[in-house]
Amino acid sequence: MKNYPRILTVQDISCVGQCSLTVALPILSACGAETCILPSAVLSTHTGGFKGYTVRDLTEDIPGIASHWQKEGIFFDAVYTGYLGSIPEIGYVQDIFGKLRREGAKTFVDPAMADNGKLYGAFGMDYAEAMKPLCFGADVMLPNLTEACLLTDTPYRESYDESYIMDILAKLRSAGARTIILTGISYSPETTGVIAADGDKMQYYTHKRIERTCHGTGDVFASAFIGAVLQDIPAFEAARIAADFTVRSIEATVDDPAHWYGVRFETQLPALIGALQAAQ
């Protein structure tokens, strides 16, 4: 790999379930980044389908950890946030964006709060509202369609046309979004895709749609995308590499109904590394 950046990723540890930090850490490491973590909470499993999971919220630990790093002179080339446990944590993360970045360091925000038209179990509309300044202040935001609707106060639709999506993108931009990576956009039953929009430039990468809802695929995609961008791969190419990696990970999982809680992304890491090397 060309670069060896130091990235900080802030999201929960779901001990079992192949999402958030248990996905971001191995994928970013495979992409050649020194990956530092700040766990927002520790859960026994993710919240998408398991019953009776435990949650230890770590909001109160965050300011102390951040000020220790500041005293030690520990700074980052990029900060990537995903699932955060609480509204105060969103504010602490904004502080970290201000204090712990090296000059020129990029911020990536995956709102990680909703999918398929619904907020995740732990969140209410107040959380979606509090997410707005964090997303609109980031260099790159990575919402899925449900999250983009929440961020723009647009009613979520299951079927839509291009003008509905263009309207959401325009609203995101006018609220301050810089680079937007909008995932899960599908205009036909057989395909889905990702839009990379940067100012007036926009590209849409479509790929095969697999008829199964898989948990953690947003985290798999975001981690691979960010890992690629940190190797100086342009956003659209990074989106293509990350989407292909995500599709391959789903394909490696769909035949096993017992593996409903996540995807076997580990089996596809060699292909991801190969794609990154070919693109550099």
Residue 117 has phi, psi (to 5 degrees) of: 85, 0
Among 77, 89, 147, 219, binds ligand PXL (CB under 6 A): 219
CB of 17 to ligand PXL, least distance (A): 7
Residues 136 to 175: which contact ligand PXL by CB under 6 A? none
- Give every CB contact of residue 57 below 8 A, 6+ residues apart in sequence: 40, 41, 85, 86
What does the per-residue mask of binding to ligand PXL show for 79-98, with x meaning CB under 6 A? ----x---------------
Residue 111 binds to ligand PXL (criterion: CB under 6 A)? no
CB of 83 to ligand PXL, least distance (A): 4
Residue 50 binds to ligand PXL (criterion: CB under 6 A)? no
Among 5, 32, 48, 193, binds ligand PXL (CB under 6 A): 48
CB of 49 to ligand PXL, least distance (A): 8
Among 8, 46, 177, 247, binds ligand PXL (CB under 6 A): 46
Q: Which residues bind ligand PXL (CB under 6 A)?
A: 12, 14, 19-20, 43, 46-48, 83, 112, 120, 216, 218-219
